[in-house]
Amino acid sequence: MTRCEFFTEEDRITGFSVSGHAGYAEAGADIVCAAVSAVVTMAETTINDVCGAKAKVRVKDEDARITLTLPASCDEEEAVQAVLAGMMLTLCSMRDDYPDYIEVLEV
CB 66 within 8 A of CB 40: yes
Q: Number of structural domains, the chain?
A: 1
State residue 60's pLDDT score: 96
CATH number for the domain that contains residue 59 = 3.30.70.1490
Predicted structure pTM score: 0.95
State residue 27's pLDDT score: 86
Q: Which domain holds residue 91?
A: 2-33+41-106
**Segment 31-53, tens digit of pLDDT:** 999 999 999 999 999 999 999 99
Residue 106's DSSP bridge partners are 6
- pLDDT of 13 > 90? The answer is yes
**Segment 46-87, tens digit of pLDDT:** 999 999 999 999 999 988 999 999 999 999 999 999 999 999
